[in-house]
Chains A and B, each alone.
Chain A
Amino acid sequence: MTVGEPRVRVGVAEWRILQGAGTLTTSGLGSCVAVAVYDLDDAVGGLLHAMLPEAPDDVVTPAKYVDTGLRELLAELDARGVKSVATRAKVAGGSAMLDISIGDAVGERNVDAASNALEDADIPLLATDTGGNAGRSVSFRPESGDVTIERVGEEERLL
């Protein structure tokens, strides 16, 4: 990161957009997924940190869910004039960290939901780092489309 560039944190069930130089970051990805969408022509992108795959009909927090969160993020990018035809995506997260009986593969369902939602929106999914049993933190530079994955005790991975 260059000194002076914005570094904007994205919480769980949130999305943020950044134009130009700078980084969007999110941490604590277990079964959650991070979906990075960007347009290199306009050097703009957004990062969604979603917790569950599909929203209920009476959704209160759209960004908590992959389907409604991505829809909301893409609508905002569209409102800012981003050309959908030039938009690309990368996805990280969706692990199965805990060997306990509760839960039914939320991580895997989140990844599938992200893949399906991007396909429905005709946005190419260029790279993924999903599944496994480790947590992840993500840094995303919309200007370049670079997504950096950090795991405890491992080397960083660049998508």
Chain B
Amino acid sequence: MQVDLGALGSFSRVGDEGASKAVRALETIADVHAHSHLTRTALVGTDAISDFLGSSQTRIAVPFDGALSGRAFVSFDATFAEHATDRLPVGGDPLPEIANILTSGFVDVWAADAPDTIDVQVPKRVTDDDLVTDAATVEDCSFIVESHVGVEAVDGTCRFAVVPDVDPFLEFLSNGGDRRLPIEALVSYSRLVEESAAGVASHIEGMTGFETSVAESHLDFLPVERVSALLDDAPYEGAVFECDGAMNAVVAVLFAEAQPGAVADAMLPSGDADQDVAESAITELGNVTASGFLDGWANALDTTLEISTPSHVHDHGQAVLNSVAATYGQHADSVAVLDTTVRAGEQFTCRVVAFPNPAAAESVAEVAATISEGEL
């Protein structure tokens, strides 16, 4: 089976239109202001899917079939679920009804260009054990098209995800594009993203002494204008690097601290560093983290990767990502992003967001093919 990377990006873009259409439908029916702020297509290991969809006590599955088959999962966090019951007048049991409205809006845009219709079935509540079926997995991974939906006056978020059956999904994507590669190669690439996350966790633990854990790590394809939504609307401190060589990319290492100064304190136990020293320490941890992330890639590609002098940042994380995305947005409508989240105890969270340069249009495909060949 082959997958075209350009088509994956286009699928995300159409999904983004679907998400917009879905929230407009919700606005009309419930008379509220709503928004979607992240739409992406991710390749996720099946054992990590429930984490990817976020902790939720309430998940609604909406099966669909026809030109595209699979299931949508709408996951409501506890706050959203509680508020929606009181504040979203959509009739009946609100959560299945919201799931139905969102799914219908979402799949309509894909159905518009398909030779066949897509039929949405009755929503039903499910548990995490029900998230994937054999049809939705390839090499123990699943494609997930996800969007985050927020509603004014309703706290919390609902996460809308489509898990398509793999064969019809790849058939749906097949458009004769020139960035095709075997699905196994893309899975190898995705697995290396996961291994890189382990490298990040290990390096941070070594530098700070905090116990670390990988919260998420996956390969995302998304419209450039949705990249910033990978982060919440909060300040981050860290460093941004350029990586050159067999992998041409920008790597942002951004720390979200539980308390201001948590990262610098971990690096400088004496605790009385001035601002310049603290910035240097954070930049150094960013440097070490980037090395931990990139070492696996250098090994897999059997080469060295050159990293630029880090650019220190302490700013809105979304603004940092937007600045990279805008630059790449001049060359491509959609980008691939390597998205990793590592937690260091309760002290801080590290986000590593790497952007392979889309101007080197075949870079992800070439790297994936090289990695895949190395495994043979």
Contact = CB atoms under 8 A, between A and B. Distances in A.
Nearest to A150: B316
B333 A60 contact: yes
B330 A27 contact: no
Interface stretch (B88-96, B181-189, B223-231): B223-231
A132 to B, nearest CB: 11
Contacts of A85: none
Contact of A97 (B35, B224, B228, B320): B320
A32 B223 CA distance: 15
Nearest to B244: A101
B316 A32 contact: no
Interface residues of B, number: 41
B225 A97 contact: no
Contact of A135 (B152, B315, B330, B333): B315
Contact of B326 (A6, A52, A61, A100): A52
Given A12-B228, A98-B313, A100-B311, A30 B320 contact: yes
Nearest to B331: A102
A11 B229 contact: yes
A96 B316 CA distance: 13
A28 B327 contact: no
Interface residues of A, number: 36
Interface in B217-276: 223-226, 228-229, 233, 235, 240-242, 250
Contacts, number: 125
B33 A6 contact: yes
Given A98-B320, A100-B308, A102-B242, A51 B315 contact: no
B155 to A, nearest CB: 12
A144 interface: no
Interface in B281-323: 308, 311, 313-323
A153 B260 CA distance: 11
A142 B200 CA distance: 45
A102 B322 contact: no
Interface in A22-70: 27-32, 51-52, 60-61, 64
A84 to B, nearest CB: 26
Contact of A31 (B229, B326, B357): B326
Nearest to B357: A102
Contact of B322 (A9, A31, A101): A31
A8 interface: yes
A106 interface: yes
Interface in B317-341: 317-330, 333
Given A11-B229, A100-B308, A101-B308, A32 B322 contact: yes
Contact of A137 (B150, B233, B325): B233
Q: Which of B33, B319, B320 has most chain A Cβ within 10 Å?
A: B319
Contacts of B179: none
A142 to B, nearest CB: 14
Given A51-B322, A100-B308, A106-B330, A6 B316 contact: no
A68 to B, nearest CB: 13
B13 interface: yes
B37 interface: yes
A81 interface: no
Interface of A: 6-9, 11-13, 27-32, 51-52, 60-61, 64, 95-103, 106-107, 134-137, 151-153
Given A52-B329, A60-B13, A98-B311, 6 more contacts: A8-B152, A12-B226, A61-B333, A97-B320, A100-B242, A152-B316
Interface of B: 13, 33, 35-37, 150, 152, 223-226, 228-229, 233, 235, 240-242, 250, 308, 311, 313-330, 333, 357
